[in-house]
């Protein structure tokens, strides 16, 4: 199976970045809403907050990956 092209790699990275930010937003909103409603930040509520942070980390990892792809692409375009 051939390696994905740079355009495919960029598309995959962008989709993963958007997915990571979307999940972090939803889970972060849920965590903050529960804590402000008076629920203690333990058990499932704490795990929701941790998952929100993991979503941000996922998006950050693929943002870094997208940066590397862009660097590779810029070096490839040089004469």
- 22 compared with 69, residue with greater pLDDT: 22
How many Cβ atoms sit within 10 Å of the Cβ of residue 9? Answer: 17
pTM over 0.85: no
pLDDT in tens, 15-26: 999 999 999 999
Q: Does any domain span residue 1?
A: no
Q: Does any domain span residue 50?
A: yes
Written in H, E and C, the secondary structure of 2-50 is CCCCHHHHHHHHHHHHHHHHHHHHHHHHHHHHHHHCCCCCCCHHHHHHH
pLDDT at 12: 93
pLDDT at 79: 63
Q: Does any domain span residue 4?
A: no
pLDDT over 70, % of the chain = 96
Q: Does any domain span residue 40?
A: yes
Q: Does any domain span residue 7?
A: no
Confidence of residue 71 (pLDDT cuts 50, 70, 90): confident
User: Which residue range is the domain that position 55 belongs to?
Assistant: 14-70
Q: Does any domain span residue 37?
A: yes
Per the structure, the count of domains in the chain is: 1
């Amino acid at each position: 199976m051939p390696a994905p092209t740079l355009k495919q790699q960029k598309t995959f990275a962008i989709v993963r970045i958007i997915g990571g930010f979307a999940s972090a937003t939803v889970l972060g909103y849920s965590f903050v809403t529960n804590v402000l409603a008076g629920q203690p930040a333990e058990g499932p509520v704490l795990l929701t907050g941790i998952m929100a942070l993991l979503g941000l980390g996922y998006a950050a990892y693929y943002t870094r990956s997208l940066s590397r792809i862009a660097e590779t692409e810029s070096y490839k375009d040089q004469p």
